[in-house]
Amino acid sequence: MSSRYDATEELSGAEYLASIYGTEKDKVNCSFFFKIGACRHGDKCLRAHHRPTFSNTVLLKNFYHSPALAQPDAYDNLKLGKTDNLDQQHFDEFYEEVFTEMERKYGPVEELNICENIGEHMVGNVYVKFVYEKDAEKAVQGLENRWFNGHPIYAELSPVSDFREARCRQHEISTCVKGGFCNFMHLKDVSDDVYERCYGGKGFYADDGYDDRRDRQIETLMRCECLSEQEVKVLCAKAREILMQEGNVQRIDAPVTICGDVHGQFHDLMELFRVGGQVPETNYLFLGDFVDRGFYSVETFLLLLALKIRYPDRMMLIRGNHESRQITQVYGFYDECLRKYGSAVVWRCCTEVFDCLSLSAVINGRIFCVHGGLSPSIQTIDQIRTIDRKQEDSVGFGVSPRGAGYLFGSDVVKNFCETNNIDMIARAHQLVMEGYKWHFNETDNRGAPAKKPQPDYFL
């Protein structure tokens, strides 16, 4: 029986990995430091805390001093996520002051996140993610040996770039069982009005950087990459502002390319743009059902919103039956938001945009465009203009979204066209393998556009 001494028996996990790969102990990275930019073990951690040479994110250690921490029941309140109006007011003032100061002195800020954890290594940590790395480096240098409200500022570049990985998902969805001592970020929400002032195009860089920021977001989404939650909130708020200025029935001039259901098929959307032309060279009208079923509903819908904000007169969007809170919780969009962002915040932002989408459009006063079709309760287009579209029934009994529609024949279409003095109806909702399809008698229902050898619209 051998009694040979095995030195690896006394090695820690980090030391053992270092020994078998022939590297030094300090080359084994600390996963917590990499994800959240902080580690509860501090300098005593056996793994390496590699601080990046270049980064967009600056960490201001223990920078926010919450008045709630001075209360006798601070531990219980923060563990349960409780707050009061004075604490929120103090936080909002601090948030806006820091955001404005960072943008004014160093450069445009992409997002600002503040921890409400109470663990020593995370309490009051402030993460400022700049648009450009050079601005983050300038901020670290500019904040050296500086003080704020009687406290020294400790600033360093942070490895955190994707806050979706750093956030505590349990805290975002409900209540974290670890409370304020969780090792993942519990980020405190700023009030809506402060948020809008900081990110809604009214900040320090509103005039000279607004379009550039939108263009960068479009480029990111064109690569089928997600925006940060902060960016989504601002994007949706701006989209609501623009969409609410449009009526229930949009008036559109030809030429315009009409597109049916996309259903989260991002690559099909890219193919549509490749064939039909890019925005703003080509005008588009999308007939709803942007989300559900496909794997990229988030990226698809946000890209359409970003294009709508950037080119409001070139991108027209109307609502489909899947732009609904009820439907999206069944057919995939809600689950996709949870999977990609760890909470329902993005889903709620998008559903608030759904409420603002127009219901139909009329091209050149002659072509009526709608998602599903005609209704027995609607005889004139003017009736659609009077509908309150900014509501969605959520209480009591209702008809199931599936099987609740109506079939309509050529006589209904003919009467509707004659009553409203239009030539034809363009609808989506159903798949046609040919890409488009004429219903009923083609010569009777195409109308004036059919007489043109090269029509200035495309279905």
Q: Is 171 a catalytic residue?
A: no
* Nearest by Cα to 174 from 186, 190, 191, 166: 186
For 43, counting Cβ atoms within 10 Å of its Cβ (0-12 exposed, 13-18 middle, 19+ buried), the class is exposed
Q: Give residue 67's identity as a one-letter amino acid code.
A: P
Contacts of 395 (CB under 8 A, 6+ apart): none
For 309, counting Cβ atoms within 10 Å of its Cβ (0-12 exposed, 13-18 middle, 19+ buried), the class is buried
CB 350 within 8 Å of CB 325: no
Question: Which residues make beta-bridge pairs with 257?
Answer: 284, 458
Q: Is 58 helix (H, G, I), strand (E, B) or coil?
A: strand
* Nearest by Cα to 459 from 317, 284, 277: 284
The one catalytic residue among 121, 186, 322, 371 = 322
CA distance 12 to 112: 37
Furthest CA-CA distance within the chain: 101
CA distance 397 to 380: 28
Q: How many helices, marked H, and strands, marked E, lie in the chain?
A: 18, 14
User: Which amino acids are annotated catalytic?
Assistant: 322
